[in-house]
Chain A
Amino acid sequence: MSPPTDGSDVYAAASKNQNVPSPRPAPFPSHIHLPGLRPGLDREHAATTHPSPPHRTTFPRARGRFPSPRAADLPSLSPCKPRPRPPATMVLTVAATAADTAEPLNSTFFATRYVRDQLPRYRMPENSIPKEAAYQIISDELMLDGNPRLNLASFVTTWMEPEVGKLIMDSVNKNYVDMDEYPVTTELQNRCVNMIAHLFNAPIKEEETAIGVATVGSSEAIMLAGLAFKRKWANKRKEEGKPYDKPNIVTGANVQVCWEKFARYFEVELKEVKLTEGYYVMDPLKAVEMVDENTICVAAILGSTLTGEYEDVKLLNDLLVEKNKKTGFNVPIHVDAASGGFIAPFLHPELEWDFRLPLVKSINVSGHKYGLVYPGVGWVIWRSKDDLPEELIFHINYLGTDQPTFTLNFSKGASQIIAQYYQLIRLGFEGYKHIMENCQANATALREGLEATGRFDILSKEDGVPLVAIRLKDSSKFSVFDISENLRRFGWIVPAYTMPADAEHVAVLRVVIREDFNRSLSQRLLADINRVVQELDAHAVHAIKMTTAIATQTGEGAEDGAVTKKSVLDIEKEFAEACKDLVKNKKTGPC
């Protein structure tokens, strides 16, 4: 067999469907080279006297447009120069070689035509290109993406040990839902569920299996949990003969956008507890007040997205127990521990927020946040079987045993689940604890450094998820949006955003501390923030001086023919406002 030519995927090569070894007689003995013929000629000779099998079309366009510099076209080449391919395989590959003759075989990527061809944006290209070229084109374009490691906007894990990389690549072609075919992967998933359930103090006995499922992320987890609450509530209402068409859910206004999504897609009303300045989490008192007979659950957040603060789940539980008793409702609690679920058990083991509280019926946690796995894995755990209505579960038989499944997605890679199991057994309780302590310490150092500049108020709490949220003490000259924009020049991605309803005048800058954000990086960030602040100071002074001196034409004005003159400061103000507006609308935001 010929080696795969660079014009075709091994499996797209026309020769694949030939028998191996090929039963077709070779056109002439493979070891005899016909010395009298020019290399180009003997190829043509072979092609005419032994018509090749009906091959697929190959690269006719490439050939036509780009005269190929193959041997036949270069008469100066010595005829006895060895051909790149032994003649025996020639007939088989003759169709495919048209591809590589379109480009010199040994040219570097940047010497090929692919560098100047336009990329397909709207239509699939007509022809194939070599894999090296495809790799290079895409990888070059991706350089313009932000660097994930410097992305301080997101909790999502960006670094893992190289050993996991190996495990991930080994299992990237395994389909997680083929439980029948990959029983060990399924088993690993079940082990992860058990470990996490125990970590959250689920009331299950030793060796009893927990109820939970791996998801793509906390969004799926929350939708599953919400669906279970909705169905349970509807069943109860049906039994009581009461209407069940107006379910609602009570949360703080600081919830992640996926709650809003859940509400909208599954037709549940979202009742948000408004925030107030200085208090950026859900107030349990107000939340319990909002609960009525149609409330399917109250969702508390362990690790608010905005400030990293834990909500007081214990107080919520106690108040709700009382209310349930008084009214005869049976409103449960869901804890969205997407970011805090892998922190509280290690750093604040005495904090009661999990299944120790009787009303907490389900908890979700993101494996790809402080579970320390690359994006694509979340978990949802139920207190017991009774909290998950049976009609939502689909049963799959696998290897004779029954595997209940409850997911919104079906086929997906198994890598992330295997990586989660790796982290759990590799790190153990001790390892997770050390990492979280490191994160906490780095967060403290960063906070102190920022406080020391005297320009910022710190909004995040010392306990909670390791992040630092700050606001400018004086934002008359420039805003946190300007800082965010300028930090990008150094490579840092630090998002600025306004708080939700009722506190929306507060604009904050948020830095998430992940395990891979070490002390030296945090010192460099501090230095860069200082530098940006000083530059903005200087610039603001400069701009005021120039206010009346320079006027600029704006693009807007040009459109309707009129020319508007605006000062630099005006434009900057406008820009800052525009930025604010943009981010205000960005309801989905940080994750």
Chain B
Amino acid sequence: MVLTHVQSDEAAASAAVFASRYVQEPVPSYELGEKSISKDAAYQIIHDELLLDGSPRLNLASFVTTWMEPECDRLILEGMNKNYADMDEYPVTTELQNRCVNIIARLFNAPLGTGETAVGVGTVGSSEAIMLAGLAFKRRWQNRRKAEGKPHDKPNIVTGANVQVCWEKFARYFEVELKEVKLSQGCYVMDPDKAVEMVDENTICVAAILGSTLTGEFEDVKRLNDLLAAKNKRTRWDTPIHVDAASGGFIAPFLYPELEWDFRLPLVKSINVSGHKYGLVYPGVGWVVWRNKEDLPDELIFHINYLGADQPTFTLNFSKGSSQIIAQYYQFLRLGFEGYKNVMENCMESARTLREGLQRMGRFDIISKDDGVPLVAFMFRGGTRDGSLAFKLSANLRRFGWIVPAYTMPANLEHMTVLRVVVREDFGRPLAERFLSHVRMALSELDLAAKGPVPKMRLTIELGPARSADEEASVRVVKREAVSGHRSVSLVTGKTKGVC
């Protein structure tokens, strides 16, 4: 007793979480707390607060993987404390990374002999991958211009206006001008003809997107390659192509093996792909692969010697966990070509169910294509008049738990407001059907609200005493007024960035 009396703090620490003082005290949010708190309490406080986050599985906004097999979870937890940058200490992890690079390069038909190692690197995501690829193009262009004795201070890059925000970031941070090919109604991807027109001697590369973020459509890389090859021949420039296959890179090889978009086209010098999208790994892994060594200027590479072998590295980040790399190798090993193919086919199937279901409702125009990344982008029929409908529907669906973003299209098409549902492997038929029924319910609520406010009257009445015994109390209406009962719907508008 004496002991527990003295260490009253300890006693508090061992009490049940909800019986402890931590439930009452404010959580430190500006300054470090003075005292420690028990680990159970810390766990519970954070865990409980996180309940208010959206459920990742119901987040239809994002391509990013939200489900993996429990076996892989175990590997991830075991690899959590391994620093990927310590190649010297964790050679096997490094080897697994190299294997993943080789597998991906061959999946993209890189011109490699048997047993030849590919040039590529694991990144935190496609943003890092794109910056690395862009940096390589920029440096290569600078070197060539320097060699020719021409100015090299005004590099530019040509992309469609439908690119992800990270291209914009790359341009701004690395001081490259971003030339965007504008979109037009009905064509929501980069037009290769227009793109090639915009190419000039300062263009470091043209970036094509395999799986546009907005509609999931594949851009016509083959045509771009042919047009650019012709232009290069005429002008003697040497403008290469980068393919941003963040979402489509793990779909096209399995579902459209005959589609030429990858290293089969001679001008495609580098490709990036997100391991955490259809690579089926939890967030934090991307890949960038170069056609061959010459496409990656040597001065950008830092060399690390590991166990006597030379390990070239080219990353923006340094220390990070190795779980995601291990998980990526797990997926390759576990699923194989066959498994990936089955998963992608299932996704397409679910997307088809969803698309047909939405079409049957007769309220939407589907703007995503049947081929491409399994997503369904739709807008209200005639929705160009009232863009806020989409935002209202999005807000309504959130009450069911679904996170479906509504956003306005990029420049030239700002009048269009689109809703987008991404189909991931864990969004199967049962969920798709449940989702459709919720859309129907949300729609009918919207219709109800659209009929305008329910008219309300406010009557002020006066009760008078009964004038005589056989009469009841008199009632007189003093005032009769109409009350406006507008339901306010708060809108989340203008989110033009950030779909990923």
User: Of the candidates B54, B67, B91, B500, which one forms a contact with A410 in the assembled complex, judged by CB atoms under 8 Å apart?
Assistant: B500
Task: Tell whether, in the assembled complex, residue A409 and residue B317 are in contact, meaning their CB atoms are under 8 Å apart.
Answer: yes
The smallest C-beta distance from A389 to any residue of chain B, in angstroms, reads 11
Binds A, one of B76-84, B368-376, B436-444: B76-84
B273 interfacial contact with A, CB 8 Å: no
CB-CB under 8 A from A554, the residues of chain B are: none
The complex places the Cα of A53 from the Cα of B19 at a distance, in Å, of 57
Interface centre among B329, B350, B493 (most CB of A within 10 A): B329
Contacting pair A413 B333 (CB below 8 A): no
Query: A138–B334 Cα gap in the complex (Å)?
Result: 10
Residues in B whose Cβ lies below 8 Å from that of A260: 302
Among B208-244, those with CB < 8 Å from A are none
Inter-subunit contact B103/A123 (CB<8 Å): yes
Could you tell me if B336 and A396 are in contact, using CB atoms closer than 8 angstroms?
Answer: no
Residues on the A chain within 8 Å of B96, using CB: 138, 141
Whether A177 touches B83, Cβ cut-off 8 Å, given contacts A142-B78, A142-B326, is no
A588: B residues at CB distance < 8 A: 302-304, 313
On whether A409 and B127 interact (CB within 8 A), knowing A145-B91, A425-B46, the answer reads yes
CB-based contact B343/A9 at 8 Å: yes
Interface: A399 (CB within 8 A): yes
Q: How near does chain A come to B238, taking the closest CB pair, in angstroms?
A: 22
Contacts known (A220-B316, A591-B86); A396 close to B64, Cβ less than 8 A:
no
The interface residues of chain A lying within 8 Å CB-to-CB of B455 are none
Q: Are B319 and A217 in contact, with the CB atoms below 8 A?
A: yes
* Cross-chain contact B30 with A493 (CB below 8 angstroms): no
Q: Which listed residue, B61, B76, B317, B429, touches A172 by the CB 8 Å rule?
A: B76
Interface residues on chain B, number (Cβ under 8 Å): 140
Instruction: Please measure, in the bound complex, the distance between the C-alpha atom of A400 and the C-alpha atom of B319, giving whole angstroms.
Output: 34
Q: Is the CB of A430 within 8 A of B34?
A: yes
What's the Cα separation between A395 and B73 when bound, in Å?
Answer: 34
A177 touches B500 (CB 8 A): yes
Which residue of the partner chain, among B79, B88, B336, B343, contacts A153 with CB atoms under 8 Å?
A: B88
Contacts of A326 in B (CB 8 A): none
The interface residues of chain A lying within 8 Å CB-to-CB of B33 are 424-425, 428-429
Output the least CB separation between A138 and chain B (Å): 6
B320 interface residue per 8 A CB criterion: yes
> Which stretch in B169-177, B256-264, B445-453 binds the other chain?
B169-177
The answer to whether A265 and B300 have CB atoms under 8 Å apart is yes
Per the 8 Å Cβ criterion, residues 19-49 of B in contact with A are 27-40, 42-43, 45-47, 49
B72 to chain A, nearest CB (A): 7
B342 touches A219 (CB 8 A): no
Chain B residue with the shortest CB-CB distance to A182:
B53
Interface: B472 (CB within 8 A) = no
Query: Is B202 part of the contact surface with A, judged by Cβ < 8 Å?
Result: no
Q: Is B89 in the interface zone, CB < 8 Å from A? A: yes
Verify B276–A411 contact, CB threshold 8 A: yes
Q: Which residue of B lies closest to A208 (CB)?
A: B30
Q: Are A18 and B492 in contact, CB atoms less than 8 angstroms apart?
A: no
Residues of B within 8 A of A130 (CB): 334
Complex interface residues of chain B between 314 and 370 (CB less than 8 A to chain A): 315-321, 324, 326, 329-330, 332-343, 345-346, 349-350, 353
Are B80 and A374 touching (Cβ within 8 A)? yes
Report whether B124 and A409 are in contact in the complex, using a CB–CB cutoff of 8 Å.
yes
A421 touches B46 (CB 8 A): yes
Decide if B381 is an interface residue (CB 8 Å cutoff).
no
Question: Could you tell me the distance between the alpha carbons of A161 and B430 in the complex, rounded to whole angstroms?
Answer: 38
Known: A181-B62, A223-B316. A119 touches B333 (CB 8 A): yes
Contact status A17-B37, CB under 8 Å = no
Residue from the list A145, A178, A366 in contact with B62, Cβ < 8 A: A178
Asked if B475 lies at the interface with its beta carbon under 8 angstroms from chain A, I say: no
B91 touches A144 (CB 8 A): yes
* B114: interface (CB < 8 Å): yes
A304 at the interface (CB under 8 A from B): no
CA distance A135 to B77 in the complex (A): 13
* Contact of A159 with B81 at beta-carbon distance under 8 Å, contacts A170-B47, A261-B302, A591-B319 already known: yes
Question: Is B194 part of the binding interface, using a Cβ–Cβ cutoff of 8 Å?
Answer: no
CB of A127 within 8 A of CB of B500, answer no
B333→A392 contact, CB < 8 A: no
Which of chain B's residues has its CB closest to A234's CB?
A: B175
- Pairwise interchain contact A11-B299, C-beta atoms closer than 8 A: no
Complex Cα spacing A422 to B47, Å: 10
CB proximity of B254 to chain A, nearest CB, Å = 10
The answer to whether A194 touches B31, judged by C-beta atoms less than 8 angstroms apart, is yes
Question: Does B75 lie at the interface of the complex (its beta carbon under 8 Å from any beta carbon of A)?
Answer: yes
Instruction: Please indicate the chain A residues that have their CB under 8 angstroms from the CB of B65 in the complex.
Output: 173
Query: Do A128 and B64 contact each other (CB < 8 Å), given the known contacts A399-B492, A493-B89?
Result: no
Query: B326 touches which one: A11, A138, A154, A399 (CB < 8 A)?
Result: A138
Asked if A185 CB lies within 8 Å of chain B CBs, one says yes
Q: A394–B77 contact, CB under 8 A?
A: no
Which residues of A lie under 8 Å from residue B78 when comparing CB positions?
Answer: 139, 142
Least CB distance, A242 to chain B, in whole angstroms:
16
- Closest CB of chain B to A429's CB: distance in Å? 5
Contact of B89 among A145, A157, A173 (CB under 8 A): A145
Report B-chain residues with C-beta under 8 Å of the C-beta of A188: 46, 49
Residues of A contacting B66 in the complex (Cβ-Cβ under 8 angstroms): 173
With A and B bound together, what is the CA distance between A151 and B93 in angstroms?
15
Are A20's CB and B429's CB within 8 A? yes
A103 and B321 alpha carbons, distance in the complex (Å) = 35
Give the residues from 154 to 188 in chain A that come closer than 8 angstroms, CB to CB, to chain B: 154, 156-161, 163-185, 188
Instruction: State the CA gap A591–B153 with chains docked (Å).
Output: 35
Report the Cα distance A144→B93, complex, angstroms: 9
B258-299 contacts to A, CB under 8 A, are: 274, 276, 282-284, 286, 299
Cβ B62 vs Cβ A409 within 8 A: no
Given contacts A11-B346, A167-B43, contact A125 B37 (CB under 8 A): no
In the complex, the chain A residue whose C-beta lies closest to that of B166 is A410
Q: Hey, which chain A residues are within 8 Å of B321, CB to CB? A: 374-376, 416
Give A184 to B349 CA distance when docked, in angstroms.
34
CA distance A18 to B89 in the complex (A): 48
**Interface contact B86-A412, CB-CB below 8 Å:** no
Closest to B115 in A: A122
Tell me if A582 is interfacial: C-beta within 8 Å of chain B.
yes
B495 within 8 A of A: yes
Of the listed stretches A54-62, A291-299, A521-529, chain B binds A54-62
Given contacts A181-B62, A408-B127, A191 and B30 within 8 Å (CB-CB): yes
User: Which one, A156, A184, A207, contacts B49 given CB within 8 A?
Assistant: A184
In the assembled complex, the Cα of A129 lies from the Cα of B339 at a distance in Å of 9
- Cβ B31 vs Cβ A266 within 8 A: no
A contact residues around B75 at 8 Å (CB)? 135, 138-139, 142
Cα separation A242 to B27 with both chains bound (whole Å): 50
* Chain A residues closer than 8 Å to B82, beta-carbon distance: 145, 148, 375
Closest chain B residue to A409 by CB distance? B124
**New A-B pairs, 16, CB < 8 Å, besides A171-B50, A407-B127, A411-B124:** A9-B69, A14-B342, A17-B349, A139-B78, A146-B90, A163-B39, A198-B32, A216-B320, A261-B302, A397-B497, A408-B173, A409-B128, A409-B316, A412-B283, A428-B33, A586-B88
Please report A residues at the B interface, Cβ cutoff 8 Å. 8-14, 16-20, 56-59, 119-132, 134-135, 137-139, 141-142, 144-146, 148-149, 151, 153-154, 156-161, 163-185, 188, 191, 194-195, 198-199, 206-207, 216-220, 223, 227, 245, 256-258, 260-261, 264-266, 366, 368, 374-376, 391-392, 394-400, 407-414, 416, 418, 421-422, 424-432, 493, 495, 582-583, 585-589, 591
Closest 10 CB pairs of A and B: A426-B42, A134-B334, A428-B33, A410-B127, A431-B36, A128-B339, A219-B318, A135-B71, A125-B336, A163-B43
Binding site for A on B (CB under 8 A): 27-40, 42-43, 45-47, 49-50, 52-54, 56-57, 59, 61-62, 64-69, 71-86, 88-93, 96, 99, 102-103, 106-107, 112, 114-115, 124-128, 131, 135, 153, 164-166, 168-169, 172-174, 274, 276, 282-284, 286, 299-300, 302-305, 308, 313, 315-321, 324, 326, 329-330, 332-343, 345-346, 349-350, 353, 403, 405, 425-426, 428-430, 433, 490, 492-495, 497-498, 500
